[in-house]
Structures are given as C-alpha cells and as structure tokens.
Amino acid sequence: MTKRCVVLAVFIQAFAMFAVGQSTVGVSISPEMRTATNDAYQKQDWKTAAAGYEKIATAEDKNSAARYRLGISLLNLGDAKRAAAYLNAAMEISPNAVFALALARAHARNGEKEKVFTEFERSLTLGGIAAESLNEEKDFATIKGDSRFTVYVKKLDALAMPCRSRPEFRQFDFWVGEWLPKNAQGVTVGTSSIQNILSNCIILENWETPVSAGKSFNVFDTRDGKWHQTWVDNKGLMTHYVGGLVDGKMVLDSESVQNGSKVIARMTFSKFENGDVRQHGENSNDGGKTWTTSFDFTYVRKK
C-alpha cells in the first residue's frame, strides 16, 4: 500500500469512528446530535458545529475526526489558539497529512512560523500535500516569502502527486488530444479522445467508429519501469500491452496464443513534426522475425 493510500485509509477510518462514536467518559452522544453537528459543519455553521464537536470530543477521547472538525470550526471562528490545541490532539491520535495541513494553518495564524515548517517536515512522512493546497492557502501568505516554503511545496507535492513530478509519466503525452484518425488511404475512420486523468497518472483513450467503440487505460508502472495499456471494447475483447519508449516512439506489445501458436501484436506510436501521431499496428507469428501490418492510422487533431 502506498503512503498516499495509507493516509486516505487513516482519514476514512477516523471519520468512521466519528460516525459510530466511542463514548468513554459516561456521556452519551445521540445519533441525532451527531447528525445535527455534521449538518452544521457541512452548512458552515461554525458556531453550532464547534459546540457540537466539543461535546463529542469531550465524550470520546479517541475520536480524532471530531477534534479535527472542531479545529477547523474554530479556525473559521477566528480562534486559532484553541484550534491548534484540538488539531494537535487529532494528530496525536491519528497522524496524517490532512490533519497536519490544518495544524500548520493554525500555527501560521498564530505567527508560529517554525511550527508551520515542523508540520511540513512531518508531512513528508505522511504522504505529502498537493501544491495547490499550499500555494492557494491564504493562511500561508505570511511565510511564502521564506525560501523554505518553496522547497517544501516541491517536496510535498512530489509525494502527494508523484505522476506530476516524474518525467516518465509524461512520455506518452504526445498522444493526448482530440483526434480524427485516418487510415492509410486518408479516410477518417472515427474519433478518438485521449485524456490525462487521475492527477495526470493515467492516459485514457476513448475510441469511437460507426461500428465499434473501445477504451484503454495507459500507465507508467514504477515497479517494472514499463508502460502498460489495457484495452477493452464493445465486442468483449480485452488486450494487455506492455512496452515503452524506443527511439522516441512508444512501442507496446501483447502476446496471445492463436491456433496453438504464439502471436505478438505490436502498436507503435510516432509523433510527426506537425503534431500528428501515427499508430501502426503489426502482428508477428514467428517470434518477431517478420511482421505484417494490421492497421496504420494517422491521428489528425480536430480543428
């Protein structure tokens, strides 16, 4: 499990605890009160939410989510001192980058610059923080001039959004776009929408023709250092390709057994100087000694 998944799991677990509740000091928190407090939080009725979460936190000494939401409510009420105390308590129960970011905000409001950077440093072991969350946070306006802020933004973003920081994930971006694929005779055979999704980690292909449709997920796997494509279509076909860049071209192979013999299917993607992309499909029945073209498309960008 990745650090990012661990952070998400901890966060979900914390709020599951809040939903169920674990009273430990003899005070019963009714489901109705819990729901009302949560509704107030969602409606940004910070005063009501703070009062409710304070009761819940007092009754449930292991409820990190209640302390986190109490801290956020207090921040929005302008009480950064008390917010920091509750957010720190949430971190002690369930350390994660979401709580650390909120605590850093509280420290910033209290003028405690070094404590802000302490939370940033701690977040390096908790899965990181996206650059947008740091750069767009108004509470950090007073520390953005510190050179350490820029350094931490880069490091934390690299952990939280690894696909944005590793150049390998950008190797296939030349295929991203809205296309009109043409066959070797120059006839448009359909449309193809190629998109970066999931924080630029996945390249999604959406292929449409008058007689068929399909999608593929393309990703660089850091474990084996290769690109993988999984293709599925409306005919029930699924194919898995593996490969990578070869002389600037993306070359992906799949292997199957047909009539008792191994067949290699290869797709080669090449970028032309004008920005068009060639997708050349080939098959080999002799282990790659000879190849036969199965299709040859040129992707022309929609105007």
- CB neighbourhood size of 42 (10 A): 9
Same domain, 8 and 153: yes
* Domain shared by 97 and 244, yes or no: no
Instruction: Say if residue 144 is in the same domain as residue 12.
Output: yes
Same domain, 135 and 182: no
State the total domains in the chain. Answer: 2
Q: Look at residue 5 in the predicted model and tell me its pLDDT.
A: 47
User: Angle CA(213)–CA(216)–CA(221) in degrees, nearest 5?
Assistant: 175
Q: Exposed (0-12), middle (13-18) or buried (19+): which is 284, by Cβ within 10 Å?
A: middle
101 & 154 share domain: yes
Q: Does one domain contain both 226 and 189?
A: yes
| pTM listed for this prediction | 0.73
- For residue 210, what is the domain's CATH number? 2.40.128.20
| Residues 55 and 99 placed together within one structural domain of the fold | yes
Contacting residues for 4 by C-beta, under 8 A, at least 6 apart: 127, 128, 159, 160
Written as tens digits, the pLDDT of the chain (303 aa) is 444 444 444 444 445 445 444 544 456 899 999 999 999 999 999 999 999 999 999 999 999 999 999 999 999 999 999 999 999 999 999 999 999 999 999 999 999 999 999 999 999 999 999 999 999 999 999 999 999 999 999 999 999 999 988 999 999 999 999 999 999 999 999 999 999 999 999 999 999 999 999 999 999 999 999 999 999 999 999 999 999 999 999 999 999 998 888 999 999 999 999 999 999 999 999 999 999 999 999 999 998
User: What's the pLDDT score for residue 6?
Assistant: 41
Give the pLDDT score at 27.
Answer: 66
Whether residues 141 and 42 fall in one domain: yes
Range of the domain at 297: 168-301
Query: Which of residues 160, 194, 210 is at a domain's end?
Result: 160
The pLDDT score that the predictor gives to residue 14 is 47
Q: Phi/psi of residue 45, each to 5°? A: -85, 80
pLDDT of residue 28: 83
Residue 286's Cβ-side half-sphere holds a number of Cα atoms within 13 Å equal to: 4
One domain, residues 27 and 151: yes
In this structure, the answer to whether residues 226 and 275 fall within a common structural domain is yes
Question: Does residue 238 share a domain with residue 101?
Answer: no
Class of residue 267 by CB neighbours under 10 A (exposed 0-12, middle 13-18, buried 19+)? buried
The interaxial angle of helices 46-59 and 31-42, nearest 10 deg, is 140
Contact 60, 66 (CB under 8 A): yes
CATH code, domain with 28: 1.25.40.10
Q: Looking at the structure, do residues 266 and 138 belong to the same domain, yes or no?
A: no
Q: Where is the domain boundary, 130, 160, 190?
A: 160
